[in-house]
Amino acid sequence: MDIFDLHSDTLYKAMMNGTHIDRDDYEFKYSDFKNGNRWYQCFACWTPDSVNEIPKKFWDTPLIDYFIASSEKLIEECKLLGVELNNIKADKSFILTVENSSILENNIENIDYLTKYNVKIATLTWNGHNCIGDGAGVKNPKGATEFGKRVIDEYIKRGIAIDVSHASDALFYDIASKNPKKILATHSNSRSVCNHIRNLSDEEFIYIRDKGGIVGINLHRFFLEEKGYAGIKDILNHAYHFLSLGGENSLALGTDFDGADMTGEIATSNDLGKLYYSFIENNFEKSVVDKIFFKNAYEFYDKL
């Protein structure tokens, strides 16, 4: 079983706790990662909407410095653990992404730091409003700011794939109006299956599908089932629905390990094997399951 996981928050947790990524009490477990076949694990440099959620030592510094510290942290982890960074030609690799482009702080030149650290995937917002635009949690969202429109253009120019997870519908369609070369949702589910603002409408999924993008299934229980009583069956239901929309080449994994409330049945990276075989046991073709767990994300990232 090969794995390409488009989203986890383990890097942020390690930053907050001042620890290594290799911790038994984290949901992403390095002991699982180092065994088995190919595994590419994306770690998000997450900037919360509130500075109070960022480690205190970064409060009085530019947010881009927090991004740099997060990047250097991941580089250090790679050296300590002997892991490749941002390299899917290796058997195993850690991949750095950006969650919340508020780190740019109204300075377009700060995108230089993203390219310096080889970031190829970035969301524009988290759930609130920032200098880029309105996230999924904003009431009556207006979409992208004027600066945000410049950022979208610059991301397209530099080949940074725009991640619409956490975007409001208004922001989604502002992004779509720019005709991005690469678009994806690293960790979002189906709004038709679970009516949550963080999930994608069918129309949004079809747009991503038609652009050759991918959508990572999120294991957060409230994105899987409205009351949070989620299990493997709910994960499969979202996959069934996306596949019914022609998503065989568009569906991937975006677990949200260490950043969400897991289902219980699939609580850590150790449970991904159970999930894989649950797909098989529920009559998903193995070739399709292999696309979901690895091939679709691999082929998308390889073209960035």
> Rounded to whole angstroms, how far apart are CA atoms 235 and 73?
32
CA 176 from centre of chain: 19
* The predicted structure's pLDDT at residue 54: 87
pLDDT at 20: 97
The domain spans of the chain are 3-302
Model pLDDT, residue 279: 98
Angstrom distance (rounded) from CA 285 to CA 282? 9
SS3 for 98-167 is EECHHHHCCCHHHHHHHHHCCCCEEECCCCCECCCEEECCCCCCCCECHHHHHHHHHHHHHCCEEECCCE
- Tell me the CA distances in angstroms from 175 to 25, 144, 157, 204, 266, one per residue in order: 38, 8, 14, 11, 33
The tokens for 304 are 């960035």
Q: How many CB atoms lie within 10 A of CB 64?
A: 19
Sequence letter at residue 66: Y
Question: What do you get for the CA distance between the two ends of the chain, in Å?
Answer: 24
**Can you name the CATH fold of 3-302?**
TIM Barrel (3.20.20)
pLDDT of residue 94: 98
3-state secondary structure of 268: coil
Instruction: Give the whole-angstrom CA distance, residue 284 versus residue 242.
Output: 13
Q: Along the chain (304 residues), what's the average pLDDT of each consecutive run of 10 residues?
A: 98 96 97 94 96 84 95 98 97 98 97 98 98 98 97 98 98 98 98 98 98 98 98 98 98 98 96 98 98 98 98
Query: Letter for the amino acid at 247?
Result: G
**Backbone conformation region of residue 254, classed left if phi is above 0, alpha if psi is from -120 to 50, else beta:** beta
Distance CA 167, CA 240 (A): 24
Give the global pTM: 0.98
